[in-house]
């Protein structure tokens, strides 16, 4: 069986590639390397360096004839989506539809799409959010990620393309770039290990659902043969940004206290996700605790990012 992983040289995508290869699948990576790194690439995977919006993507699909697609490539910066909404829509919507069309024309069996559980629900009406929660995003990124879910439903209904939507929580772990479009854990770890001043946006009491990257990769593998539909991944509990800072401080031996800056436009105050459906229908549950995951992440950054 062959799987295409878009964004497979990126943070999460590269972990998905590694797991799929370990499970015996043939893996082809589509990545323009705008944010991905060749150092993340598994040597057993084949790389096509190409933008997902490029019409030539269809030629690659027709040539390689993948059985599955795991679509991670995206414009993933919430703040950039607010400032550059046309770019966000072009990459996340137009690029995704280009891939879905190529999947339809080449006979792909299953399209696994990475959506955003942290943004599509907006400010939650109840917590934890399950898949039935109203979709009321408050940033352009959330809108663009959710829009593709509608396309997948349409392509399943009209063309028989099976799909799995995974609404990710806040994912963290090794290979997340502390200098790029990073999550808060990578940013804090990079600053702490370098002795820089950490600044928390807002009061730091905003809460997120933090899940280790390896657990999300496992969700992708289980999603290949899941009932068609949408699944949250998450722990189902909120962790504040202040708690993340406090947990990382002793692990990194960081001597300073955090400063606080202004809150960011378009960011949700509290969000964490119910993964009950994923547990029941995928057999998925997170296995790495926050403490374990943070330690693994710091260990990685000590070596890979700083050469220590």
Reported in sequence order, the residue ranges of 169-270 that DSSP labels E, i.e. its strands, are 170-172, 199-201, 207-208, 210-212, 229-232, 239-240, 259-261
Provide mean pLDDT across the span 225-235: 98
- Comparing 61-65, 81-85, 153-157, 212-216, the range with the smallest average pLDDT is 81-85
Active site residues: 141
Alpha-carbon gap, residue 284 to 223, rounded angstroms = 9
Cα-Cα-Cα-Cα dihedral of 298, 301, 302, 308, to 10°? 180
**pLDDT per residue as tens digits for the range 91-118:** 999 999 999 999 999 999 999 999 999 9
Domains annotated for the chain, with CATH where assigned, are 2-170+211-234 (3.40.50.720)
Alpha-carbon gap, residue 239 to 172, rounded angstroms = 13
Tell me if 65 sits within 8 A of 2, measured CB to CB. yes
Cα-Cα-Cα-Cα dihedral of 224, 230, 231, 237, to 10°? 160
Tell me if 121 sits within 8 A of 66, measured CB to CB. no
Give, for 218, the enclosing helix (H) or strand (E). Answer: helix 213-223
**pLDDT per residue as tens digits for the range 41-93:** 999 999 999 999 999 999 999 999 999 999 999 999 888 998 999 999 999 99
Q: Work out the pLDDT band at 305, boundaries 50, 70, 90.
A: low
**pLDDT per residue as tens digits for the range 179-203:** 755 689 999 999 999 999 999 999 9
pTM (two decimals): 0.95
Residue 39, pLDDT above cutoff 90: yes
């Amino acid at each position: 069986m062959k799987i295409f992983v878009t964004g497979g040289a990126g943070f999460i995508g590269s972990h998905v590639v590694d797991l799929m290869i370990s499970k015996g699948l043939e893996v082809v990576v589509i990545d323009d390397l705008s944010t991905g790194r060749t150092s993340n690439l598994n040597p057993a995977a084949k790389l096509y360096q190409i933008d997902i919006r490029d019409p030539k993507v269809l030629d690659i699909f027709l040539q390689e004839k993948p059985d599955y697609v795991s679509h991670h490539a995206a414009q993933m910066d919430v703040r950039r989506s607010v400032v550059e909404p046309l770019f966000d829509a072009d990459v996340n919507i137009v690029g995704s539809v280009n891939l879905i069309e190529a999947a339809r024309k080449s006979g792909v069996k299953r399209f696994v799409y990475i959506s955003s559980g942290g943004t599509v629900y907006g400010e939650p009406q109840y917590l934890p959010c399950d898949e039935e929660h109203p979709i009321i995003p408050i940033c352009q990124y959330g809108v663009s990620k959710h829009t593709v879910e509608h396309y997948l439903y349409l392509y399943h209904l009209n063309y028989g393309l099976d799909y799995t939507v995974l609404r990710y929580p806040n994912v963290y772990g090794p290979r997340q770039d502390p200098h790029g479009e990073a999550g808060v854990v990578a940013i804090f770890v990079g600053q702490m290990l370098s002795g820089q001043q950490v600044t928390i946006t807002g009061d730091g009491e905003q809460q997120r659902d933090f899940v280790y990257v390896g657990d999300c990769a496992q969700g992708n593998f289980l999603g290949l043969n899941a009932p068609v539909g949408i699944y949250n991944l998450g722990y189902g509990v909120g962790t504040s940004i202040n708690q993340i800072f406090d947990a990382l401080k002793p692990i990194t031996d960081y001597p300073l206290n955090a400063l606080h800056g202004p809150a960011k436009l378009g960011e949700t105050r509290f969000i964490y996700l119910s993964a009950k459906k994923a547990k029941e229908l995928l057999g998925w549950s997170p296995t790495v605790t926050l403490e374990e995951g943070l330690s693994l992440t710091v260990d990685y950054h000590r070596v890979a990012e700083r050469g220590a």
